């Protein structure tokens, strides 16, 4: 609540203020807010042995739930229009649910994801424009870690046996993004962005089975930033 | 500003944590804290009722490829029990020469050969009290055994109850069908035979000849050693004798061989007709009755007695077993019987609270149609070199790698497929929120 009140006050102040400070070459900016990472689902079929919906080619699949986390970033203006941007975030916790033949089975695991990206951005309009849309292209290392199985996953893959572990392959990918900043006053600004990456990963179970998934996550977030 | 400083610090810490992150087991605890698992059924659920005397000596006891170490989970009930932190062990021990006795603390009442209601299961022509071979106590008796052990018919709200039965009713009813079809064929044979020989006599002598020839055929057919040839011979002899004694000539006597062949053809036709019509109808209706009966047991003797978690499996498609496939003429009937049972079971348990129906029928069909999905390498050939998997071990397998075969013998699955069945059951349990 304290945060929201502050944000509204700042926004109101910005609308009334006439002058803004430029996002010009050499400017450093930091921001903080929230980002949501929403993978698409479901995965492809789990490799054999995999239960299928009888009479169909739909097998055992998973889907990753979206995750929202505290996030922000650091931006450095190389020129008046070109910037380098390093998003920072707490790890995203994605719950894995059954899909396909496993629809309705509930949570089968959990994975943490830390997408580490360095964006090169192009910011339109004048350096001192109040509203600056931008596009960016980032090199991302999608790092997955701390994968957790569940009793359900074990029951489906190795009933009565050792708990089934899972491991999600981390990947280098390219991430295109669009976004915009709105200057709130000479220092403070609002940043929103949307990115959509193509990310195919392979998850390997300790039973030796694998499942490929085109997670193709959409990320979007809002942050409040400060220019130095 | 202070807020953001704290945030950045947290993010930095998260990055450090991330660098040393590792995978884990997650929460392995089932959502329902089951205190015991109780199973009823037949050889598909039996975990060693007959692991006694000669069966135990041969390293057998379960109707699959028996493991070298008895405690190795092999049957789907064992896998499921272990998954919920319990064990599934045979509640009765005996048969094959040993007296039946209860096993303290064990709650798997399934017995190989058992039917739903009929105590004369597969391998047991005597019924109640038979111990020379498989006990085959039917599900209704297994429920009584549970009540006796438990001191009450009641179940608790923390028990997982599994039910899978009916396959032996197929075998019992098809065996009966074969007997009835043979009887129908024999009757037609005798009728055709007598009719043809009587027709060889002059009209005035036919009524008397009928009595003599009919009696001779009946007498010969009643002998244990009777054959078609011997019956034809007896009929021809009676016809000739009756003609000689009564001073007429029977033209059929010289044609005995042709008459016998015609009667034989009539017998085959009659037997097949019976099997395909009346007999098939009785067999299919019998399975529907068995399904309805089993559903009634589940409702009245399990759910009504307090069970809250009951997993009932329908019958796998028995027509796809090597045993059924070996006789293409009855394979469609076996399928019709299976379907009739499953429908009656399903209908009888529709919207019964606490009951989930596991579709093993569709699952086996998918396994046979798409073996690669299940890593199955063979879905038609039994992996055991011996007829019954009850005593099958690694020492009695056919040559080659049979670890991913579907069938252990003519009707029973391999341990690998039992594990797949456990996974199927687990899927249903998880969807119901029980796992």
Category of A55 on φ-ψ map: left (φ > 0), alpha (ψ -120 to 50) or beta: left
- Cα separation of B145 and B317, whole Å? 29
Distance from CA of B81 to the nearest CA of A (A): 7
Per-residue pLDDT of chain B (435 residues; tens, 9 = 90+): 343 333 333 344 344 444 333 578 888 999 999 999 999 999 999 999 999 999 999 999 999 999 999 999 999 999 999 999 999 999 999 999 999 999 999 999 999 999 999 999 999 999 999 999 999 999 999 999 999 999 999 999 999 999 999 999 999 999 999 999 999 999 999 999 999 999 999 999 999 999 999 999 999 999 999 999 999 999 999 999 999 999 999 999 999 999 999 999 999 999 999 999 999 999 999 999 999 999 999 999 999 999 999 999 999 999 999 999 999 988 999 999 999 999 999 999 999 999 999 999 999 999 999 999 999 999 999 999 999 999 999 999 999 999 999 999 999 999 999 999 999 999 999 999 999
For B22, the closest of A51, A88, A146 (CB atoms) is A146
Closest CB to A165: pick one of B25, B80, B419. B25
Tokens at B259, concatenated:
């008459």
Question: CA neighbours within 13 Å on the CB side: how many for B20?
Answer: 3
Strand A171-183 and strand A131-150: the pairing is antiparallel
pLDDT of residue B24: 87
Per-residue confidence (pLDDT) for residue A21, from 0 to 100:
59
* Nearest residue of A to residue B78, measured between CA atoms: A160
**ipTM > 0.90?**
no
Q: Which fold has domain B36-168+289-431?
A: Rossmann fold (3.40.50)
How many beta carbons lie within 10 A of that of residue B355, not counting itself? 22
Chain A residues within 8 A of B8 when measuring between CB atoms: 30, 32, 72, 88
> Which residues of chain B make contact with A59, given a CB cutoff of 8 A?
373
A145 contact residues in B (CB cutoff 8 A): 18, 21-22
> What percentage of chain A carries pLDDT values higher than 70?
91
Chain A: residue nearest B82 by CA?
A160
Quick one: pLDDT at residue B329?
87
pLDDT tens digits, residue range B348-386?
999 999 999 999 999 999 999 999 999 999 999 999 999
Q: Which residue, among B17, B23, B77, would best test binding to A if mutated, counting the most A CBs under 10 Å from its CB? A: B23
Distance, in Å, from the CA atom of B222 to the CA atom of B215, rounded to the nearest integer, reads 11
DSSP state of A25: T
Distance (Å, whole) CA B132 – CA B123: 10
Using CA atoms, how far residue B267 sits from B181, B187, B210, B229, B264, in Å, is: 10, 7, 19, 13, 5
Contact check, Cβ <8 Å, B423/A156: yes
CB proximity list for A116: less than 8 A, separation 6 or greater: A140, A141, A142, A143
Give dist(CA B290, CA B348) in Å, integer.
11
Residues of chain B with C-beta less than 8 angstroms from the C-beta of A149: 23-26, 28
- State pLDDT tens for residues A151-193: 999 999 999 999 999 999 999 999 999 999 999 998 999 999 9
A151 and B22 within 8 Å at the Cβ level: the answer is: no
Beta bridge partners of A110: A95, A148
The domain ranges of chain B are 36-168+289-431, 178-272
Out of A3, A54, A155, whose CB is closest to B430?
A: A155
Q: Which two tokens stand for residue A47?
A: 């490799």
Q: State the pLDDT at residue A55.
A: 87
Q: Which residue from B215, B158, B218, B148 is spatially nearest to B186, judged by alpha carbons?
A: B218
Collapsed DSSP state (helix, strand, coil) of residue B118: coil
Looking at residue A134, what is its pLDDT? 97
User: What are the residue ranges of helices labelled H in B275-330?
Assistant: 280-297, 322-325
**From A70, A114, A160, residue closest to B7, measured CB to CB:** A70
Q: Quote the tokens at residue B154.
A: 């009641």
Residue A202's DSSP bridge partners are A212
- Residues from chain B that touch A90, judged by Cβ atoms under 8 A, are 10-11, 14
Which among B366, B375, B431 is the nearest to A48, CB-wise?
Answer: B375
Of the residues B2, B4, B26, B403, the best mutation for testing chain A's interface (the one with the most A CB atoms within 10 Å of its CB) is: B26
pTM: 0.88
Q: Which residues of A touch B21 (CB under 8 A)?
A: 112, 145-146
Give the chain A residue nearest B84 (alpha carbons): A160
**A-to-B residue pairs, Cβ atoms closer than 8 angstroms:** 142
The residue in chain A having the minimum alpha-carbon distance to the alpha carbon of residue B31 is A151
* Contact predicate B393/B45, CB 8 Å: no
Among the partner-chain residues B26, B29, B375, the one whose CB lies closest to the CB of A149 is B26
Distances (CA, A) of B313 to A33, A97, B302: 52, 25, 15
Mutation target to probe the B interface, by most B beta carbons within 10 A, among A1, A7, A49, A110 is A49
* Rounded-to-integer distance, Cα B409 and Cα B403, Å: 13
CA distance B101 to chain A (A): 28
> What token pair was written down for B415?
């341990």
Of A49, A150, A159, the CB nearest to B375: A49
Q: Is the peptide bond before B187 cis (omega within 30 degrees of 0)?
A: no
Tokens found for residue B423: 């996974």
Of B366, B375, B433, the CB nearest to A52: B366
Of B125, B150, B134, B159, nearest to B46 by C-alpha is B134
Give the distance, in angstroms, between the CA of residue B405 and the centroid of all CA atoms in the same chain: 19
* Chain B residues with CB-CB distance to A151 below 8 A: 26-30, 83, 435
Contact yes or no for B18 and A55 at CB 8 A: no
Give me the residues of A, 163-222, that contact B with CB < 8 A: 163, 165-167
Return the residue of A nearest to B432 by Cα: A105
| CATH architecture of the domain covering A2-227 | Beta Barrel (2.40)
* Contact flag B4-A32 (C-beta cutoff 8 Å): yes
Contact across the interface for A159 and B372, Cβ inside 8 Å: no
From chain B, the residues in CB contact with A30 under 8 A are 4, 8
Using an 8 Å CB-CB cutoff, list chain B residues near A55: 362, 366
């Amino acid at each position: 609540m304290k945060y929201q009140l502050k944000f509204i006050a700042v926004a109101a102040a910005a609308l009334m203020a006439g002058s803004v400070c430029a996002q010009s070459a050499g400017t450093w900016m930091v921001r903080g807010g929230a980002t949501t990472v929403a993978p698409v689902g479901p995965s492809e079929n789990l490799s054999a042995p995999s239960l299928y919906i009888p009479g169909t080619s739909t097998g055992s699949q998973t889907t990753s739930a979206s995750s929202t986390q505290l996030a922000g970033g650091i931006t450095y203006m190389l020129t008046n229009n070109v910037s380098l941007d390093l998003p920072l975030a707490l790890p995203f916790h994605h719950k894995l649910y059954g899909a396909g033949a496993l629809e309705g089975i509930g949570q089968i695991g959990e994975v943490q994801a830390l997408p580490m990206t360095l964006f090169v951005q192009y910011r339109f309009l004048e350096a001192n424009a109040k509203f600056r849309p931008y596009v960016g292209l980032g090199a991302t290392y999608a790092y997955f870690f701390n994968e957790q199985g569940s009793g359900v996953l074990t029951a489906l893959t190795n009933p009565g046996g050792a708990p089934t572990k899972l491991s999600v392959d981390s990947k280098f990918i390219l991430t295109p993004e669009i976004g915009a900043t709105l200057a709130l006053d000479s220092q403070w600004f609002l940043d929103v962005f949307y990115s959509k990456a193509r990310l195919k990963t392979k998850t390997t179970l300790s039973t030796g089975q694998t499942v490929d998934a085109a997670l193709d996550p959409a990320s979007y977030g809002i942050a409040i930033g400060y220019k130095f | 500003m202070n807020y953001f400083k704290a945030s950045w610090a947290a993010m930095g810490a998260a990055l450090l944590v991330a660098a040393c992150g590792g995978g884990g087991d997650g929460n392995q605890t089932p959502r329902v804290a089951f205190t015991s698992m109780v199973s009823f059924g037949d050889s598909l659920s039996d975990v060693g009722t007959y692991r006694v005397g000669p069966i135990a000596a041969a390293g057998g006891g379960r109707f699959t490829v028996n493991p070298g170490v008895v405690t190795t989970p092999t049957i789907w009930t064992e896998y499921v029990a272990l998954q919920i932190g319990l064990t599934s062990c045979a509640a009765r021990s005996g048969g094959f020469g040993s007296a039946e006795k209860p096993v303290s603390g064990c709650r798997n009442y399934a017995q190989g050969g058992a039917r739903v209601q009929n105590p004369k299961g597969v391998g047991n022509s005597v019924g109640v009290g038979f111990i020379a071979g498989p006990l085959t106590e039917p599900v209704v008796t297994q429920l009584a055994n549970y009540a006796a052990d438990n001191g009450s018919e009641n179940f608790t709200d923390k028990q997982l109850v599994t039910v899978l039965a009916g396959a032996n009713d197929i075998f019992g009813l098809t065996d009966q069908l074969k007997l009835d079809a043979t009887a129908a064929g024999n009757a037609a044979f005798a009728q055709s035979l007598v009719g043809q020989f009587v027709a060889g006599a002059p009209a005035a002598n036919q009524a008397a000849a009928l009595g003599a020839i009919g009696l001779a055929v009946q007498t010969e057919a009643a002998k244990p050693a009777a054959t078609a040839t011997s019956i034809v011979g007896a009929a021809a002899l009676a016809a000739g004798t009756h003609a000689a004694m009564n001073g007429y000539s029977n033209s059929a006597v010289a044609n005995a061989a042709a008459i016998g062949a015609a009667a034989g053809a009539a017998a085959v036709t009659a037997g097949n007709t019976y099997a395909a019509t009346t007999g098939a109808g009785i067999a299919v209706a019998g399975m529907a009755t068995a399904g309805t009966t089993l559903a009634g047991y589940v409702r009245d003797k399990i759910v009504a007695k307090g069970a809250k978690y009951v997993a009932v499996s329908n019958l796998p498609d028995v027509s796809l077993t090597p045993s059924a496939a070996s006789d293409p003429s009855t394979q469609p009937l076996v399928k019709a019987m299976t379907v009739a049972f499953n429908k009656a079971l399903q209908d009888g348990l529709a919207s019964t609270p606490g009951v989930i129906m596991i579709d093993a029928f569709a699952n086996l069909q998918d396994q046979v149609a798409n073996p690669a999905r299940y890593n199955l390498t063979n879905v038609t050939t039994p992996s055991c070199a011996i007829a019954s998997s009850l005593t099958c071990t690694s020492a009695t397998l056919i040559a080659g790698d049979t670890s991913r075969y579907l069938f252990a013998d003519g009707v029973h699955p391999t341990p690998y497929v039992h594990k797949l069945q456990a996974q199927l059951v687990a899927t249903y349990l998880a969807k119901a929120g029980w796992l």
